[in-house]
Structure 1
């Protein structure tokens, strides 16, 4: 049975909840919990209880420190430092990411989500030896990078025997959605008992009732407030603080106790409060500069304010705050100056720079330069928020207007990269208040455009990028061209929802007049020229340039630049009807994003690859990537529309599921200004209804999908669906107009994919021998491509035409082929359509029987089983799905039991479909 300390009186419910968490962790489960409540309510005491009531568990602790919020990964390093001897057990990208983040090695700034995955893996490895409980106090004061990494791990905990408990006044947004427990004030009877335990004499009953009422049962207030009052004041109530905020009341109590201490002890507490590390050696070195002896610590300990042992530890964060804020500004500056002087510049240059900045009474160019160097180191470790904070402080300490503006601009860029958009806007305003060069002013325009694009995926992003590109023309032609290319992509995303100046035709017209590159054109230059020409001059004008761009894509490009342009390259392959390039590029896109840990790019990469697999008829592989895409979105908080799920539902013929996705997607992208999403949603709507034979609905969706006709890539698929649906409805004029638009692209495209789509669509408009010739041509053309779904649908349309021509025997041959292909691929509605047509010819086609036992698996189990079947190791599966390898093994054991197998090699026998691995290009 648990026993509470006096400070935990009345906490039976909370202690039971913590006991259950420990029991679950010891039983092999993982648990996360967020304790939150007002200052002093007892959150830290509950963590102390957990420390002493976790038998058989390793307990690790960390705490957020308000003054350390600017130092990237400081909190994470606190927690993980004792575990770093396990780093070698982590997969190489995760190991390198953590080593770089902690300043243990140099390297490219790690992706913040790769850091989170590395933390998850590290906790899992430590827990293999003994169940692990991690306690994080004052989470609201963690640096942002640490909060993100720990929250990421908390969300992905599975079967690792890890408990992760946070305590916070108000939890940061990073912890949203995690299980929580509100810690409230004590009930009146418990509050009275706690107050009585610290009173040293009798007290008037009404005064006691008033204290209990005003503190609202806050344990720290009940313990601390009476300490600053005399017995006479308590007896009569004359010294009660009155109606002031509780946090202020407690801090004022601490402040009174600090002010009652000897001057030397006050100076010691100030130095300890100014140092967030709790390193006693550092504090005593600084204290020595003021001639303060070791005996100054005793009064602080006797007053219950701080202890100076193996670590410097304050009674409560409000005690630290009181010790710091009660000191005059000049004394604080002297404390920071002393700490800066005793901080090793080689081992801890960033904290030294921070202390120097706090010690400065005004602008100081040397300190500003040092802060700028600290920002560079923070950025190299992936601490974008820290880099921005250093740069912002550097700007504040800079007197020269030009330098000040430049540093504010750099800080704004770091804030945008870190996703802190409100502060970025303020820093841009600071930058614009000083003299800016033309390049810097253009950078301001680009950053404002990125803010618009990141916050609304539309709005005025393209217009702002266009403004920046024009400003850069006489200054830096290459940078101007890169910005024009960004503007084109932003305009393509905005599509039909573009605002004034954002329209893709306006952007293309301006981009057509961009200055020529200073060197031989590379793939990005050709993408710009070809895309602009295809939109501004006409589709055919852009095709040869775009084909050259795709042919040399990647040559002379860094991995970062390749990733930045890969999505547009995939769109270009679709625009030019080049399924081979689409296949190679989409595979490389996923590969590059995974290899580099560029999780920000991975959602788009997986989407591009998913659609290639869908059109190739590999719905099983596409489903696996769609599952992975959902895991990435959940892990990263990506707001990308569910494009992959839309296409999958449409081809499967899932009428209800597709309808829900279509409606939700249109609502979401309309709100965000991402017009391309409407085209995708209505295309999916047309596909599912064509499969079901609901041709009027399909035609209506096709008209909506093709209503915006300024972006050719968005029309390639939608026009084909509209023509099929409208032809079945006898909408001759609609068919003719749509075919004319399609023919403009397919004739210039000239690939087997383009000419196959053209022939199939033309056949629907034709009669007799002409129709038959076109159907056969369509089948022959698609047979040379990777597009198995289009080939099967060509067989289906030809078979339907033959049946109407009363050539039943020939119709059966085509319909059998179509049905077999569509059924095998899982293209459900079209397979059913082929089955109905076969039945009309007098032949019966039977549906395939699903694999036995398959339906027993949960969605996550099925996902893991598919990846294991495809040859991925447990760590590789864990990396894909953002879970630990231990959790993967846990789920595989359940999979084996449900499917009645004993090894991974047997998965191929019991799971349908072909492997879902992404092939390597070449």
Structure 2
């Protein structure tokens, strides 16, 4: 047991007990430098008898090399790569240079690593140790945070030791490591200082160390006993880590010159490969016998690898060396690093060895950036390009490389650095094409930074710049601008949806797919043999919709939706534009296209590990599930969306969770989620988000039968027609709420606005909703025909909830006319449908009307067994019912196959069944039409 660490050791022992039982767990040990994290990790490794141990330590100088830490961690497990599902095996093998292929996304790599650990745990539980996590390269950190959040039943213990939290560590179990208690600190100090100390000096050392074990061990060393006796020199004006580092530096200064020179070579090399270090040392004239004094002083370990006793020794050595000496060390290491087997590390050393501009080195760095991007190491590619730009002699090439670095920084999520590099690129000699790309990137940066309102104007400007330079890129940028204008809504100001749509319609026609036009060339029109891309069709359709209205816009939007449903649509094109295509589908009230496109978007995002896009795709699929009455599936995807946001560190408004709670009538939960989302979208200036949230609020209050509150929410949701689709949905809520609240004029005005979109769309969904609203504002007996038309049309649509609501309002209308028998029949249908899916507030509203209409009692039609499943268990159970294997389910949900199996055992127990075959019996089929038979 470590001195003063009984509680920490108990926590580690408990974690080991958990993993030995077959479960997984994660711990983050956080504490200051020298506080004893590495000692606790050593204790853990010793206590982990019988476990497979994989271990890595982050190295500050290696932070620019993509997947450097992850490769070292996974190296002992790579013989299991071929056991992974092919997409994951391909991603892992490409990342680690075992195969060549397109660059994988970090999260597909993460899923591969997750299953690699699960495979290893089949033989014995796995202990995965990550020391000095604050110095992980960005790509490794992203993957490891993802894996840590997805571990459940793999028998893996993952432990991070870090000085501070990393992005994605929030909410992971924390084991804080603080300074030692006073008594233990005194005992440790006495073990180092064996001569008498004045009490005042002892108190001063203890106060300065604040219980930090390394400080207690190091601060007294390097000082003569006489100095300690007097207490002089103890109170350096440095933070604790600086004082410890200074203590190491004093001890280093006492070493022979050759030992100091060798330590600098070791400090300059992030790998610690003894063979390479000795070759570099020989090139610098350092004798092979050097280093012995440093080893005896406890500063250096020499074996197959050369390592320092503590990371602060490395920083002390490197920081104290003159810049010229550091460059000499890097130059020597570059010369002994193979340009064939390790070109990136060689280029990195050359960059560190170069003080002035050097085009040769810049070109090597640029090549390294390309290799890093091919492995998915976007952060490393950005670092290589940034350094290449600083070494470039030609002004034009320097600006181009700075822009490429900015794009890579943006892709890697380093938004502040990207803005700095964009400004640097803009300072180059003017170039029309580069300037257009700069404006384009500024637009995306504005949105990614949380200011949606500035993005449309910047992208509109970029699209106009691209028009004569690259018409294909111009049209893509117009579609980007239109997307962001829709998102910004009321906040977009001059670059609103109408302005962007008008500009897009006035722009040159699309060039053939993939064509680029020289700056001096005239715009190129597509040839008859070159059909427009799906994105071109979508731009034309949405532009027409927002300039000439639905009558003109519906046909071209439908053509675009058909194009996006083609099986031969390139995945990259689909991933980029399916979000706005889904929006187009509910702009024209096409719930068949909406369902198909949302399913495709989620499937592609999962298959490609595109977790940045996945929450958007999940939100769209959640709403489609709610529309179809598939509340369990919607809740599962909403929970997944939240989990993905935590894994990526990208916080988005919780639209899905709020929508599920509102439709279920969970008032307290929904109200809190709506308020939280409202605050987020206002801060981000996303107008369409405000409309969606207010629409959700209107649904909640209509379900609860609170008409004035529903009217107020729906009026806010319909106040800005440019925030379309959701505003149209809210018009239907306003008609119902206003009609019930005794405000017929308000209901009629809302209806008149609604038909501008529903009638030209002419789908069963749109015309069914229109008929239901028309019935609500009709004061004569003619209303009954409209109610029946609504039920008939909605019965042919995918809209189980609009259909149930049509039965409900028709039943209420019949009861008001004292046609009780007919009213009860309609209200029973509504109640059955709402209760079957868990729309509790709407079900209770129908139940109240049934009782008022003479029904003796309202039956309880809940499904307690299915409701006992968690959202994730429901999702897994449905996929298993539909014939997916554990591996396929894991691939879709970013879980290991072993965790899927664990969840299925829990599902079988809760449902009282024995196997997958029985899932079809106990789980309702969510396919269209089945819910209506309930």
TM-score band, normalised by shorter chain: over 0.9
Question: What does residue range 509-908 of structure 1 map to in structure 2 within 5 Å?
Answer: 509-518=502-511, 519=526, 520-553=531-564, 557-844=569-856, 846-851=858-863, 853-854=865-866, 856-908=868-920
Q: Deviations over 1:475-515 (max 9, x none)?
A: 2222111111111110111112x143342222223223222
Q: Deviations over 1:160-208 (max 9, x none)?
A: 2222222222232332322223323333433333233234655444434
Which residue among 95, 102, 105 is the counterpart of 1:108?
Answer: 102
In the alignment, what sits opposite 2:522?
none
Q: C-alpha separation between the residues in 2 aligned to 1:845 and 1:190?
A: 71
Which residue among 178, 186, 191 is the counterpart of 1:184?
Answer: 178
Q: C-alpha separation between the residues in 2 aligned to 1:614 and 1:176?
A: 30
| Residue range with higher mean Cα deviation, 605-614 or 400-409 | 605-614
Q: Does 1:332 align with 2:344?
A: no
1:67 to 1:742, Cα distance in 2 relative to 1, 3 A: same
Which residue among 465, 480, 489 is the counterpart of 1:471?
Answer: 465
In the alignment, what sits opposite 2:422?
428
Matched-pair contact (CA < 8 Å) for 2:571–2:604? yes
Q: Does 1:53 align with 2:53?
A: no
Matched-pair contact (CA < 8 Å) for 1:851–1:911? no
Matched residue of 1:135: which SS? strand
1:252 to 1:789, Cα distance in 2 relative to 1, 3 A: closer
Gaps of 5+ in 2: 512-525
Query: How far has the Cα of 1:854 moved from its partner?
Result: 4.6
Matched-pair contact (CA < 8 Å) for 2:636–2:874? no
Gaps of 5+ in 1: none
In the alignment, what sits opposite 2:514?
none
Matched-pair contact (CA < 8 Å) for 2:850–2:858? no
Q: State TM-score, norm by structure 2.
A: 0.92
Matched-pair contact (CA < 8 Å) for 1:620–1:913? no
Matched-pair contact (CA < 8 Å) for 1:251–1:322? yes
| Residue range with higher mean Cα deviation, 552-561 or 608-617 | 552-561
| Residue range with higher mean Cα deviation, 758-767 or 438-447 | 758-767
| Residue range with higher mean Cα deviation, 44-53 or 885-894 | 885-894
Query: How far has the Cα of 1:455 moved from its partner?
Result: 1.9
Matched-pair contact (CA < 8 Å) for 2:107–2:143? yes
1:712 to 1:224, Cα distance in 2 relative to 1, 3 A: closer
Which residue among 255, 266, 272 is the counterpart of 1:278?
Answer: 272
Query: How far has the Cα of 1:834 moved from its partner?
Result: 3.4
Figure out how many residues of one structure are paired with residues of the other and give that number.
911
Aligned Cα root-mean-square deviation (Å): 2.5
Q: Does 1:90 align with 2:84?
A: yes
Q: Deviations over 1:36-63 (max 9, x none)?
A: 2222222222222222222222222100
Matched residue of 1:774: which SS? helix
In the alignment, what sits opposite 1:293?
287
Query: How far has the Cα of 1:315 moved from its partner?
Result: 1.4
Q: Deviations over 1:221-261 (max 9, x none)?
A: 33233332234434444554634332222222222322322
Matched residue of 1:226: which SS? coil
Q: C-alpha separation between the residues in 1 aligned to 2:910 and 2:563?
A: 49
Q: Does 1:266 align with 2:260?
A: yes
| Residue range with higher mean Cα deviation, 187-196 or 422-431 | 187-196
Matched-pair contact (CA < 8 Å) for 1:695–1:728? yes
| Residue range with higher mean Cα deviation, 420-429 or 899-908 | 899-908
Matched residue of 1:175: which SS? coil
Q: State TM-score, norm by structure 1.
A: 0.94
Matched-pair contact (CA < 8 Å) for 1:851–1:910? no
Matched residue of 1:295: which SS? coil
1:679 to 1:300, Cα distance in 2 relative to 1, 3 A: same
Question: What does residue range 481-496 of structure 1 map to in structure 2 within 5 Å?
Answer: 481-496=475-490
1:566 to 1:845, Cα distance in 2 relative to 1, 3 A: farther
Matched-pair contact (CA < 8 Å) for 1:852–1:910? no
Q: Does 1:456 align with 2:446?
A: no
1:687 to 1:745, Cα distance in 2 relative to 1, 3 A: same
| Residue range with higher mean Cα deviation, 804-813 or 39-48 | 804-813
Query: How far has the Cα of 1:364 moved from its partner?
Result: 0.3
Q: Deviations over 1:85-107 (max 9, x none)?
A: 12222222222222222222222
1:204 to 1:764, Cα distance in 2 relative to 1, 3 A: closer
Matched-pair contact (CA < 8 Å) for 2:142–2:648? no
Q: C-alpha separation between the residues in 1 aligned to 2:190 and 2:841?
A: 75
Matched residue of 2:236: which SS? coil
| Residue range with higher mean Cα deviation, 667-676 or 820-829 | 820-829
| Residue range with higher mean Cα deviation, 352-361 or 444-453 | 444-453
Query: How far has the Cα of 1:581 moved from its partner?
Result: 1.8
Q: C-alpha separation between the residues in 1 aligned to 2:621 and 2:24?
A: 33
1:219 to 1:644, Cα distance in 2 relative to 1, 3 A: closer
Question: What does residue range 184-223 of structure 1 map to in structure 2 within 5 Å?
Answer: 184-199=178-193, 201-223=195-217
Query: How far has the Cα of 1:404 moved from its partner?
Result: 1.0
In the alignment, what sits opposite 1:341?
335
Q: C-alpha separation between the residues in 1 aligned to 2:929 and 2:429?
A: 53
Query: How far has the Cα of 1:866 moved from its partner?
Result: 4.1
Q: C-alpha separation between the residues in 2 aligned to 1:785 and 1:21?
A: 52
Matched-pair contact (CA < 8 Å) for 2:451–2:684? yes
1:628 to 1:737, Cα distance in 2 relative to 1, 3 A: same
